[in-house]
Amino acid sequence: MRIGKDLVAASATPLVPGILCEGDLYGYAILKRVSELSSGGMQWTDGMLDAAIVVFPPLFGF
Classify residue 58 by its DSSP letter. G
Section 46-51 average pLDDT: 74
Its pTM surpasses 0.75: no
Give me the residue spans of the domains in the chain.
Answer: 5-57
Instruction: Say which amino acid occupies 13.
Output: T
Distance of alpha carbon 7 from alpha carbon 22, whole angstroms? 23
Q: What is the pLDDT of residues 11-48, one digit of tens each?
A: 777 788 888 888 888 788 888 988 898 888 887 887 77
